Structure 1
Amino acid sequence: MAQSSIELNHFYVTVDSATYAAIEQSSFLKQEFANFEKRTTVRADRSYTGIYFYGTKTYFEFFDSAQEKRAVGETAVAFGVDAVGAMPDIEGAHRDLITRGWNDQQIPWFYRLSPVPQLAKGLESWIMEYTPEFLAKWRPEGGVGQGVTRAEVLKRYKSVLAETPADAYLDDVTGLTLALPADEMERMMHWMGQVKPAVTIRFLPMGQGPHGLRSVSFRLRKAPAERMTVRFGARSVLTLRPDKTAIWEF
């Protein structure tokens, strides 16, 4: 099979407890901006709790540094393919199968291809390919979503939520900006050169401010009537623009 385009699947970032609480408690984010879920994921290898926001083909998650015992700024960027067997062949990368718990069973979730060694202690990246078994077995009562594409998986995720916005702003993530020390930037750029993802990722040298994710660009499904700014904690700011774009800065 010819290699399909490698896109963004999702990212995560770890924030301080005050910022995490402000994001989790925001009625705007949960009722207007995007489909929201707080969940604990139980895998065969580990478990973790975070808050999630789902778009059309991409999503993102936040972790609380205190609850999850992670460093503020810890970031991961997960790329993805939308076809069975479309994972690229990258020399030296490690492939494994990740499972997800449901009804006291571990269901095959996705194949993961990761650089060896990983990029840095606070920076991870991988490529993922969903398994055909996942949507066949995980929360089938959702009724929608089948196959292995990012869009189909997110349809299922959203279909089983207790509450969803009637007309959410978020369409998808379009770009990320990362602030990294020189050695981490070099490793991430080398990995991206092997992956060749179809998503814009910009880099800043480390200086003042946190390590890892500094900003996220979004495409919106609808435009706000005027420029809108929402703040979360001391330094996290989401700005929605009338041109149907948004940026979230950290």
Structure 2
Amino acid sequence: MLSPKPPIVSPPLVHLNHVIIYVDEQTSSAIAQSAFMKNEFAAFEAGHVVIEDGAGWSGLYIDGEQTYVEIFGPSQASANGNLIGDAGVCLGVDHPGELEEARALLQASGDISCPDLVRRQLNGEEIPWFRYVDLDDSDAARASFTVSIMEYDQHFLKRSRPGLAAGQDGITRKQYNAARFRPERYLKDIIEVTLALEPVETIRFGRQLVALGYVQMPEGETEIFSSHQLTLRLIPRTASLKGVVALKLSLLKKKEGETIYRFGEESVLRFDDAHTASWLFGLH
């Protein structure tokens, strides 16, 4: 007797755009001052972003081909109303209209807000940057973990980067990152995120991921959600493990020589093999 074929799972509409990690001053400073991070590992920037009405934020940016890491130290955490150990996951879509499609899929899993538009100040002008919806609990007094889905404005690249050739001015994550991605360096992309969350956060985020097409695979106390591009591992939050505790990264080339880099006492970048590296946060 033939075994039944596994169900065909369509690729999810949404993929990882970036992760947000709030770290202590020692970790933030060590990353910002690391010659390896700035000159060898990936595209790196200590940047300041200005949006409408003069608001904005400052952070450290480590860019891959389609994904990136956004790191905030204590001063920006305080300005944002966050604490060290807080985190965010920003999912994204690659085609116009897919934000609304994702929002429709999520309606059954809870109340989803209407999309908001963020405008960015560039060259003295405010231009549409991206639309997004928040997926976190709007009733919570303070969210230690946030989730959103974003869709770049289809005209943003053309307006912000004059001279783009045809085919370079879309809204895909790869097109957006192209101006900064450094293919001669090590980092390709984030392929796995491990998050230490409260039980209510795990339940809500897991329900949303399933609604968006991710496949759920429980493993003991860990809830695993996977697509063909990304794995999310949700573990219980503890006193020492909060928010983003590990990133698994795909590499463009093998790292020779030194394979372990420490940033303060609570962050370690470790090259595992020729194809992957792990970046750990918390007590290790």
Distance 1:241 1:132 in 2: 38
CA separation of 1:224/1:153 partners in 2, compared to 1, >3 Å: closer, same or farther?
same
Q: 2:91 matched to 1:74?
A: no
Q: Which residue of 2 is the match for residue 153 of structure 1?
A: 176
CA-to-partner distance for each residue in 1:180-202, whole Å, 9 max, x for gaps? 12122222222222333532110
Q: Classify the secondary structure of the residue corresponding to 1:140.
A: coil
CA-to-partner distance for each residue in 1:76-126, whole Å, 9 max, x for gaps? 101111111122223231211111110122211111022263476111111
Q: 1:94-173 maps to which residues of 2 (within 5 A)? A: 94=113, 95-115=115-135, 117-118=137-138, 121-140=143-162, 145-156=168-179, 158=180, 167-173=184-190
Which deviates further from its counterpart, 110-119 or 165-174? 110-119
Distance 2:62 2:162 in 1: 21
Report if the CA contact (8 A) 1:224-1:241 is conserved: no
1:62 to 62, 71, 87: 71
CA separation of 1:236/1:169 partners in 2, compared to 1, >3 Å: closer, same or farther?
same
Q: 1:1-250 maps to which residues of 2 (within 5 A)? A: 5-44=13-52, 46-69=55-78, 70-87=82-99, 88=102, 89=104, 90-91=106-107, 92-94=111-113, 95-115=115-135, 117-118=137-138, 121-140=143-162, 145-156=168-179, 158=180, 167-197=184-214, 198=227, 199-225=230-256, 228-250=259-281
Distance 2:11 2:250 in 1: 26
Q: Classify the secondary structure of the residue corresponding to 1:233.
A: coil
CA separation of 1:65/1:196 partners in 2, compared to 1, >3 Å: closer, same or farther?
farther
Q: Which residue of 2 is the match for residue 162 of structure 1?
A: none
Amino acid at match of 2:153: T
Structure ID, larger Rg = 2
Report if the CA contact (8 A) 2:158-2:164 is conserved: no
Structure 1 gaps of 5+ residues are 160-164
Q: Classify the secondary structure of the residue corresponding to 1:146.
A: coil
Distance 1:222 1:182 in 2: 38
Report if the CA contact (8 A) 2:133-2:150 is conserved: yes
Amino acid at match of 1:31: N
Q: CA deviation at 1:208?
A: 3.9
Q: Classify the secondary structure of the residue corresponding to 1:38.
A: strand
CA separation of 1:60/1:142 partners in 2, compared to 1, >3 Å: closer, same or farther?
farther
Structure 2 gaps of 5+ residues are 1-9, 215-226
CA-to-partner distance for each residue in 1:196-243, whole Å, 9 max, x for gaps? 353211011122413211000000000113670000011100001233
Q: Classify the secondary structure of the residue corresponding to 1:193.
A: helix
Aligned-residue Cα RMSD (Å) equals 2.3
Which deviates further from its counterpart, 140-149 or 103-112? 140-149
Percent identity, aligned pairs only, is 32
What is the TM-score of this pair, normalised by structure 1? 0.89
Distance 2:183 2:189 in 1: 17
What is the TM-score of this pair, normalised by structure 2? 0.79
Distance 1:195 1:166 in 2: 30
Q: Classify the secondary structure of the residue corresponding to 2:178.
A: helix
Runs of 4 or more, structure 1, over 4 Å off, are 141-144
